[in-house]
Chains A and B, each alone.
Chain A
């Protein structure tokens, strides 16, 4: 029997699974030039036509999947790819050249695409330059089919698979079907990579950054993926399998114990209601959010709409997604956060040394009003459902709020002129995730309808720690008194101006943090759907006066570990019912 081997990576999505490796090849296709004897030329042209047919089938099924995933007819961009595939000019040129040059289809097709790609790549127009990626997306599919490469698509992964790859592109990530894919392991990436975000959204375990993964693992191997510890176990020993069976069983029992809390109101023992809502990435997650007992969507991330589409979706495409989500959640609120994209995700030729301090989120949106306007119009049109709220990410200055509000107003006037209906009383809020926004929250509160504290980024910026950097990530701790004091400041500032204050970072789902946040007066906690039942259970064991006492003391420690020690002790003592939950 093969020897057990443990491959280490970064744990980015919790859970444990046992499955069979499915290697998703993203390697380049090798194109060789081969002469074709005259009597086989017709067969060669036929072979080319067959590869096109097969590819068309693939694209259609991908389109179907994306539409299902996002909920509405969002995958129109694939129509352009299908048209590229069926382009007469290309098919005629390729078929003709196979015959005249007596050369194999792969080689000629590659040459012809290369000419088009070069023409588009040389265009002054950004959008056209980006279509080169579409050409090669389609082209690579056809070439793979021509050379008979298998596993060309994440769509046809068999049931019970652990998906293994060098990397997974955003458009492929959107296609991962959690029914078939039990877990994901990739060679590259960190906590914030698309793969990590997708895995957390789909609630399947994932480990990223596993060095030389593809040289160590083969298709069809049996493995255990442990997303809690960040390891992939190759050829596990019977003892190991036994151990993990126990772990999986415990996890299932724990979920069973929590499930009754989904239905219960999110209230403390003495009756204070805290709105518990869900952070979601994809439209389809609304169902899970509702099932878990979410009282709304506290954060709908819109980046995936952009990344899946590899470009700005049209107003109509965005509107359909927002409108559908609003309808499904009615009458509960849906907070749509405008694009939180880095400049490098939008402009392929743009790179920066320090993206976290760079051109991203609202900064990019304000600098590209045409692009921002499409999103605002789509959000406003969907607000006819009367439950949509809008939120700007990464606000750091007063001018940004003023500018965003001015643009927002411009768009509303435009809609009024066009006699398009929208919610005149739509709430407009900001994420408080930069130290400056937290410190200036008293001034900012006068210009917005709510604050949502993004505790992950706030912690990162306040402590000057990149949590993705292994050497310093131990310094990242959202219980640091510096972070907690700022959170208090923001909540107090909001309440003084009579606006509500929520929190949508990982802190919101931390059982240790909930009593503290309730004590500080938080109005809303938004978290991933899976965390909701536990948060409700914790909340229902608390009383406000006790939480207030805890909060008062927690803020006066010198460091995060003292705060944590104190919180652990308090919870064990005052709320024995929720002790030991973590």
Chain B
């Protein structure tokens, strides 16, 4: 038994430590070969860009922990991002600003509930159920603005994406709070443990009295809400909302970050901090390749390679 244990521990270390090691190697490579890597500006660029991946990735990690997946996150970002300017332009003032943050997130959460309803109420496979909003969601966002880019100038809303607090962008603080809270909830609360149990063995969960249906609904709703928030951040950074581009391909980045971070894709084990590291790897990888003139298309291949490696490590 001792032998089995040590091998298991070694494997766990390899997954967690492996991701950390990869991140360290990437940083080291950049320190040596990338010009002006060690600057506040580079740090800010990378942190700003990684924020949305991490925030969506946290929601994705929770969904994946229950044995599901959510392909609609990118489309939900577009919906939320499109709604916000519509609201604060129609309703100026403080209340309009508050509504332009709260309402889009609530709508995204409701879309998440719809996903959860398809998964739990009809027993549709999550990958198919969330494909519905993956396709339709972006369409809805485009219809809202006739597919036009909405530019705006709203200092209050810009704080979300451009504001600074204690030397770091506001959204980075937001990201850190979300990661810490999510990790604590997952580890310490009944809700968190029920999430992991539902994904670990759904039949046993039901026979243990765990309200698996409610848990899944909540998790999809949370994932939707986090995607909505990420959509608002993107719009705030750009001072414009583009339903065609906002959150495009985000579902893949979020899933990749989750997988690289050591969360079991089959459910039953979740690592929020792993997802943070996974997202940092993906972001830094993209930055490194771009900084060295490698085209974005090739960067995608590199990203795919990381995912394959992560999944292979899990299977071993």
**Are A and B physically bound partners?**
no
